[in-house]
Amino acid sequence: MLTRLLVVLAVLGALASPAVATTVDETDIDIKTREVAKTLRCTVCQTENVWESGSPFARQVRENIRERVEQGQSAEEIRAYFLSRYGDYILMQPPARGVNWLVWIGPFAVLIVGGFLLYRTLNRWVTSTPAAPQTVEPLDEASRRRIERELHS
Amino acid sequence: MTRGWQIALVVGLLGLLALFYQGLWGNPRLIPTVLIGTAAPNFTGPQVGSSEPLSLDQFRGKVVLLNFWASWCQECRLEHSNLLALNERFRQDPNFVMLGINYQDKEEDAQQYLRTFGTNFPHVRDIKGAVSFDYGVYGVPETFVVDQQGVIRCKTIGPIIGQVYANYTQKILPALIAGSADTVKC
Amino acid sequence: MIIELGHFAVVTALVLSLLGIAAPILGLWTKNADWIRVGRQSVTLIFVLLGLGIAALEYSYLTRDFSVAYVASTSNSKLPLFYTIAALWGGHEGSLLLWVFILSAFSTVAVWLHWRTQPTIMPYLIAVESSVMFGFLMLIVFLSSPFERIFPAPIEGKDLNPLLQDPAMTMHPPMLYMGYVGFSIPFAFAMAALFSGRLGEEWIKVTQRWTIFAWLCLTVGIMMGGYWAYYELGWGGYWGWDPVENASFMPWLVGTAFLHSVMVQEKRKMFKVWNLFLIIVTFSLSLIGTFLVRSGVLTSVHTFATDPERGLYILIFLAVVMGTAFGTLIARAQKLKSRVELDSIVSRESVFMFNNLFFLVAAATVFLGTLYPLMIETWKGSKVTVGPPYYNAVFMPIALGLLFLMGVGPYIAWRKASLDNIKKNFLIPLIVALGTTALAFALGFRSPFTIAGAFVVGFVTTTIATDIGKVSAFFARRDRVNYLRGFVSAFRNNQRRYAGTVTHIGVLVFVVGVIASTVYQTEKVVSLHTGDEFTMGPYRLTLAEIHDVQGPNWTAKEGRFELYRGDRLLTEMRPQKRIYDASQTPTTESAIYAINMGHVFLTMPEVSPDGTATARGVINPLILWVWGGGGIMGLGVLLNMFRPRKRDE
């Protein structure tokens, strides 16, 4: 009798308590860890960063970054540490120093030089093209509009 | 097409093909180390199968061969007997010690591995990977040699077998144990 | 038995390809058309034989014949039918066979289609296509045969890579190969022009048709790859600047430059040699792409098993093709040079040239970025990574420059644009562009890409809209109908131009989608128990339960999430963490919900035994504009290809 009463009370108790939905969110440490992790390359993956990758190496690096963030290290300090251990490869882009300026400035240099050379070539062509005859009869509206359209298609 | 552009085109093509040819013989997964000539970072950690912690500083003044391995690593098995033989050969010299570092592994698996394949040197467990990060390790097996001044002189990626093993036995270890300051070719 | 027949068919095709090279040359030498006919039969027969080879391989797949090594390594008995068929191109050997099969199909179509109308090109077309087929077939027969047997035959095959078990992924390689192969036809035409010393009017028209078809296939192929990466790889992105992604992008860039530059040749008969150069570069890049994927030179998501011997062969093949093509160009260019008549730098010809410059610099940038790690390693022995941050910084400005040119080119006059013409067409767009830039700034956007993008998008949208408006008004007035009917008349009157406009609109939509979904993507990663919830922007996600799901060849843990906006339940989302039975490979299957032309993207990368799930939510604003833009680009091409031909075409 007593056990049955206890069971009924327990069931009523469970039904009566409101469903508690816990709202979870990212902490500042989560966010900072992600920011740093996105800038380090997963060395055993193909051009993935340590945040994206699912490999065990990436996971350990993320945990290591998290510990350092918790200890209060700045993003620069954490990156500098990994850089000192793994070399430039661990960054997601070539650091802008030394010979690497070739790859950073190269495209723009080629664009500018190419643009200049192209401009010079175009100029050369324009000056070597005989000028069109100057005497031109005035056109009527319909013809003018039709010519405009042809030129624009 | 002017002569200048023609020459540029030919030179460019030849350069490209040469670069591709070079690339065929490289290993895109190999990352050269930046730590040669730098001080070997100290570490302290629990041992595999023992409660006593072990740290690198205990061995300052000796030549230390540091080998990173894991029970799930196939290539590590290839080199294991060679490592034991190396240790047998050089451990009489008080200036030499061999240490293993167990990487990304479970304690039971590591112990099982050592029971199966045997061991004659101590192994430290790198639980969170901190040691491996300090040494720029990204896979196993990787082996470092630290000289008597505590400077990293050599790093080998991959198993110590064949020509690499011969190199260790005949050139690298004897030279460093004798205190040589010349560059060692790893 | 069947597989040996297939092997025999492919070996015969290899022998025939030699005939396909020799016969046309003999025909030219003896001036006997019968030899050219022999060449045509060879090409056709090669297509049939390769078809048989593929059929034999598919037969082995369908009968689960695991004594064939390739079949055993790319399938197993539980693999669903659809993927079993597609597994043929799931590995290196089979995908090469598919490549050369598509090449033989296109060659056969080209030879029969142009037989009567292009007699001068025909022998060279046959010889060049046969040469390329020879090269690939040598590789397949001697170094990469899918027909090898394995003794003893395994009872069960390994499996098709689970990442490839996906509809978009099965269509991606065939589409891509159709693009690469499609460019071989204009390439063969170009070689024909160089070898024969003649480049006539007809050349332009056939080249353009094949080019635009190849461009369509390549564009769709690349988009499919991006779309697959987006929902299968689970990081909410669609382009990683991975070396092999880049290898498909480079021929696209130069191919697009070629496509545009050829229009100048058509209109003004200029830049003939330049266009020959462009198509040789385009096709060379297709072959270089093949080299990079299969040689082990670069590591990538896509690389097939690496083998220096294969790599060396492909490199030699590459050297022979490029050497012959560029060498012939250098030697024969003088014969085909055209006179350049340019009245002003301010003209459409000029804009086309700058278009080419930007496209080539873009291709060179991608090339440099892809090969830079290799260069540094060879030169200095150290390694660097050239990843997305580099490309985003360097490539975006060039892309925006191109986009700007896209708004100028179609609306500036040929030969010489008067100041009046400039003012009429570009003054208002420039003012609008300044307005959209100010608006973007006022709305709080600060990223330089967004600000620059706002300017360019404002400018180009206005030039396009103004043109459509003007011409629709003209036809509406002329035919006395409403604007919409006016536009339809305008469209029909110059379908080629307006199909191009549609494609350009697609590009615009695409770029806006890319900027929005890249720069303004937001992400959140949390750990949850059942019943917990998290918010992401205006949305709320609750984890209702985690349960097990069984598939045909996989098992998964599936999380049932509820997506709310405010109090309204929008949908359920069910991301999975799958394990494929055969290979025990895990994959993350994403759940996607489209809203406001963007996506809410959810994956569940981890589920711990105690019921804690890691959920990763991403909001990708305007991502549907990325796929939609690609679709509109394709629509434009279809409208171009299937236009009613006018009498003079």
CATH of A25-90, one of 1.10.8.640, 3.40.50.460, 3.40.50.1400, 3.40.50.150: 1.10.8.640
pLDDT at A18: 44
pLDDT at C647: 57
Domain of B10 in residue numbering reads as 1-26
| CB atoms A91 and C385 under 8 Å | yes
Which residues make Cβ contacts (< 8 Å) with residue C641, sequence separation at least 6?
Answer: C209, C212, C213, C216
C343, C525, C533 member nearest A23 (Cβ): C533
Domain spans of chain A?
A: 25-90, 95-125
Q: Is the pLDDT of residue B80 over 80?
A: yes
CA distance C532 to A20: 8
Percent of chain C with pLDDT over 70: 98
C: neighbours with 3+ CB pairs under 8 Å?
A, B
Closest CA to C74 of C132, C150, C188: C150
Does residue B33 sit at the A interface (CB-CB below 8 Å)? yes
| CB atoms B1 and C296 under 8 Å | no
Which residues make Cβ contacts (< 8 Å) with residue B167, sequence separation at least 6?
Answer: B185, B186
Q: What is the 3-state secondary structure (H, E, C) of C222-235?
A: HHHHHHHHHHHCCC
pLDDT at C232: 83
pLDDT at C305: 52
| CB atoms C361 and A46 under 8 Å | no
Average pLDDT, chain C: 91
**How large is the average pLDDT for residues B74-90?**
92
Distances (CA, A) of C264 to B64, C267, C268, C354, C411: 71, 5, 6, 13, 15
| CB atoms B20 and C323 under 8 Å | no
- Rg of chain B over Cα atoms, rounded to whole angstroms, equals 21
H helix intervals, C423-537: 428-442, 448-479, 483-493, 495-519
Phi-psi region of C543 (alpha: psi -120 to 50; beta: other; left: phi over 0): beta
For residue B157, the 8-state DSSP code is E
| CB atoms A88 and C243 under 8 Å | no
- Convert the pLDDT of each residue in C503-522 to its tens digit: 999 999 999 999 999 889 99
CATH number, domain containing residue B72: 3.40.30.10
Beta-bridge partners for C540: C535, C564
Asked whether residue B62 is assigned to any structural domain, the reply reads yes
Asked whether residue B151 is assigned to any structural domain, the reply reads yes
Asked whether residue B12 is assigned to any structural domain, the reply reads yes
Q: State how far Cα A17 lies from the chain centre.
A: 47
Average pLDDT, chain B: 90
Question: How sure is the predictor about B3, in pLDDT bands with cuts at 50, 70 and 90?
Answer: confident
pLDDT at A139: 67
- Per-residue tokens: C100: 């050369």
Selected residue with higher pLDDT from C298 and C64? C64
CA distance C19 to C12: 11
- Convert the pLDDT of each residue in C267-299 to its tens digit: 888 888 999 999 999 999 999 987 777 776 765
Give me the residue label for tokens 């394709």: C634
- Convert the pLDDT of each residue in C115-170 to its tens digit: 998 888 899 999 999 999 999 999 999 998 999 998 888 888 888 888 888 888 88
Q: Which of A42, A53, A60, A91 to mutate to test the interface with B (most CBs of B within 10 A)?
A: A60
Q: Which residue of B has its CA nearest to C336?
A: B1
**How large is the average pLDDT for residues C1-18?**
94
Compute how many other C-beta atoms are within 10 angstroms of the C-beta atom of residue C4: 11
C312, C381, C382 member nearest B24 (Cβ): C312
CA distance C547 to C545: 6
Q: Is the pLDDT of residue C580 over 80?
A: yes
Q: Does one domain contain both B44 and B20?
A: no
Q: Does one domain contain both B22 and B57?
A: no
Strand, helix or coil at C67?
Answer: coil
Closest CA to C17 of C56, C57, C52, C47: C47
Residue type, C570: L
Burial of C430 (0-12, 13-18, 19+ CB in 10 A): middle
Closest CA to B15 of C286, C325, C358, C379: C379
- Convert the pLDDT of each residue in C251-272 to its tens digit: 999 999 999 999 988 888 888 8
pLDDT at A153: 66
Report whether A50 contacts A42 (CB < 8 A): yes
Q: Which residue of B has its CA nearest to A84?
A: B34
Asked whether residue B183 is assigned to any structural domain, the reply reads no
Compute how many other C-beta atoms are within 10 angstroms of the C-beta atom of residue C360: 19
**What is the pTM (predicted TM-score) of this model?**
0.90
Distances (CA, A) of B121 to B67, B100, B101, C188, C369: 11, 7, 11, 67, 46
Distance from the Cα of B28 to chain C's closest Cα (Å) equals 6
pLDDT at C301: 46
Q: Does one domain contain both B68 and B12?
A: no
Percent of chain C with pLDDT over 90: 69
- Convert the pLDDT of each residue in C338-395 to its tens digit: 888 888 889 999 999 999 999 999 999 999 999 998 888 888 888 899 999 999 999 9
A47, A107, A122 member nearest C241 (Cβ): A47
Q: Are strands B123-126 and B96-103 parallel, antiparallel or unpaired?
A: parallel
pLDDT in tens, chain A (153 residues): 676 766 666 666 555 444 567 889 999 999 999 999 999 999 888 788 999 888 889 999 999 999 999 999 999 999 999 999 999 999 999 998 888 999 999 999 999 999 999 999 999 988 887 776 655 666 667 777 777 777 776
**How large is the average pLDDT for residues C415-431?**
90
Q: What is the number of structural domains in chain B?
A: 2
- Per-residue tokens: B9: 């085109």
Does residue A56 sit at the B interface (CB-CB below 8 Å)? yes
Q: Does one domain contain both B43 and B14?
A: no
